[in-house]
Amino acid sequence: MQTSEIKRRNFLKIAGLGGATALIASGAVYQMTKVSSDAKAKVVVIGGGAAGISVASRLMRWLKTPDITIIDPSDRHYYQPGFTLIAGGVYSPDEVWLNQKDCIPSGAKWIKDSVVALDPDKKNITTAKNGNVQYDFLVLTPGLVLRWDLIEGIDESTLGNGNAHCIYTHNGAIKASKAMKEFAQKGGKGIFTDTYTKHKCGGAPKKVCLLTEHQSRKNNRRDALDINFYTASKQLYDVKYFTPRLLEIYQERNVKLNLNTRVKGIDTVAKKALLQTVKDGKVIKSVYEDFDFMHFLPPMTAPQFVKDAGLSVVGGKRDAEMWVDVDKGTLVHKKYPNIISLGDVAGIPTSKTSAAIRKQVPIATLNLISLMEGKQPEQIYDGYAACPIITDYGHLIMAEFDYQKNRKNTFPFSILDMSKESRMGWLLKVYGLKPMYFYGMLNGLA
């Protein structure tokens, strides 16, 4: 307990910003003595991202004799919410990552490899280089896949060609930063898009758009830019409490809003985007639009091995996206009760954000321990997610909501009207959330 308290004090010191400290004081840090279980089983975690590492850290703390193996091929662990701030010039590229070996919880085994197949009936995992791995219980957190193959004319290796960018990779964010700055100075036509599948951090495309717009105003060049935002959705935002002010911001800043529109292809030589208007699942219009700067998102799906293993949702409009078919409350797989899944890969009706994962982790971990003890899972996740939508350099709207799209209130935001822009939210986003992630959440402390 003494060692845990030292780590906790260090975390509080690192996260010392008032807002972050307030979140911790309000109960975000779980006591190290909250759970102490005698349950014994071999637990394998597929994926060493936010969800996988955080669950593994909890298990290492809450099981008396943990047997935890993490399978992940990465050398680096990225704080992906920071990619937007790299693009915006707020963070340097090296501020958002740590070596993966330093993020693996002490005592856990790390197999540095990729999963190529999974057989849930035989409880067997096939890796690319290390053969087969058996498990008793599985934590399925491989994240999602950026489907560059579903956008014609561009892929991850050619990001930046023709001034078409995507900040959803570290290198992509670095390239976009220079291009955003130049576009905001020079002017021209800008196209900003999201995508038609469920995707991580749904607010990021809006943030990139609004940060670019603000840069142009700071350069006294706003009149030189024609800014167009395309969303594949039927509305700009689907949480009613926050939508009115967002719409006002787009109108006030003369950002042209286009609904029900997706990117089909990008001609990086001609600098044209093929955009399709889709209603009721049918393409009703296809047009080529010129651009001088473009930020787009590729569609996103679960890894193919999830579907091949029979673990994905079947039926409905999300069928092709292959998300893991879990109970949205307990996060336990609907067919295989020895599998827990959370994070970006989970087929649950909430946003794919780090804030959502932070709330899912203790629930998933406690339910997994209950299953290991031969009990029924009792902890229920209410769908909480948070999306800090940056509206300019210095302000954001902190959108917090649940499965029903009802507004949620976490201290200190419960005392503020977060349907409007907040300076406190910006300070927390820039200075508080990253240390909370690296030194709190990944260590099982927040």
- Residue listed under structure tokens 């996060």: 331
Nearest to 203 by CA among 393, 19, 436, 396: 396
CA–CA separation, 371 vs 378, rounded Å? 10
Report whether 259 contacts 229 (CB < 8 A). Answer: no
Helix (H, G, I), strand (E, B) or coil at 439: helix
Beta strands in 161-292 (DSSP E): 164-165, 188-193, 225-230, 256-258, 261-267, 272-279, 282-290
Catalytic: 209?
no
Q: Which amino acid is at 73?
A: P
Residue among 103, 166, 209, 387 flagged as catalytic: 387
Q: What is the DSSP string of 371-422?
A: HHTT----------EEEEEEEETTEEEEEEE-TT--B---TTGGGS-TTS-B
Dihedral angle of Cα 180, 184, 186, 190, to the nearest 10 degrees: 70
Per annotation, catalytic residue among 103, 166, 201, 209:
201
166 is catalytic: no
Could you give phi then psi for residue 52, rounded to 5 degrees? Answer: -65, -50
Q: Are 393 and 363 spatial neighbours (Cβ–Cβ below 8 Å)?
A: no
Specify the DSSP element, H or E, that contains 99. strand 97-99
Do residues 139 and 52 lie in contact, with contact meaning Cβ atoms separated by under 8 Å? yes
Q: Which residue has the tokens 């990225």?
A: 78
The phi and psi torsions of 272 (rounded to 5 degrees) equal -130, 140
Cβ proximity of 59 and 66 under 8 Å: yes
Whether the ω angle into residue 412 lies within 30 degrees of 0, i.e. cis, is: yes
* 208 CB-near residues (< 8 Å, 6+ apart): 84, 87, 88, 167, 176, 180, 192, 295
Active site residues: 201, 387
